[in-house]
Amino acid sequence: MRTDKAHKKTETAAIVDRPIVLVGLMGAGKTTVGRRLAARLGLPFVDADAEIEKAAGRTISEIFEDFGEKEFRKGERRVIARLLRGKPLVLATGGGAYMDPKTRERVRRLAISVWLKADVKLLAKRTAKRDTRPLLRTGDPLRILEKLAAERYPVYAEADVTVESGGGPHEQVVARILDALKERTDQNGTNRKEKADDHERA
């Protein structure tokens, strides 16, 4: 008889065989949802921003102030590349990470990307609670978020999975992600079977 731990490990392997990368604007809940998703899947959770700060020995705000956004993005690209070379995990990325073409292509090849999509007004409300977002210090936060959404949402839409991250409990978002991942796995399995059947008939 399988233990609960063994069953969970088998179930996780069936759904996830590579890193899961959460993308979306600041305030979408990538870190909070990511931690809970990782716990549900029995995988490690890593916050890319925290790893960048650890590598640089500075906060994100300090990196922006001392070196500028361009240098920050270079460091971000290197850190994410390193993390994607390891075993499956849940990775929360900064809002601009997926906008980098090289990072986006690397995520496409090596991971499953999940866009946490949220209403801009909700994001403005959430981000107002913490003054740690360098990009929001340059003007009206709502206007800045609206501009970022206009620029980034079409790119985020390239993610493998899109899940609405509304104002409800984070567990609901986690459940939606798990359902979407299972559906994706089932669909991929069906596609592989159909290709195998076609090959046998050829």
pLDDT tens per residue across span 55-104: 899 998 899 889 988 889 999 999 999 999 988 999 999 999 999 999 99
Instruction: Label residue 135 by pLDDT band (50, 70, 90).
Output: low
Residue 184, both tokens: 């994706």
Is residue 142 packed enough to be buried (19+ CB in 10 Å), middle (13-18) or exposed (0-12)?
middle
pTM for the predicted model, two decimal places = 0.82
Residue 114 DSSP symbol = E
Q: How many domains does the chain have?
A: 1
Rounded Cα distance, 76 and 67, in Å: 13
Residue 166: predicted pLDDT? 77
Instruction: Label residue 27 by pLDDT band (50, 70, 90).
Output: confident
Structural domain of residue 155, as residue ranges? 4-201
Whichever domain contains 40, its CATH number is 3.40.50.300
Alpha-helical (H) ranges within 85-156 are 101-110, 120-127, 141-156
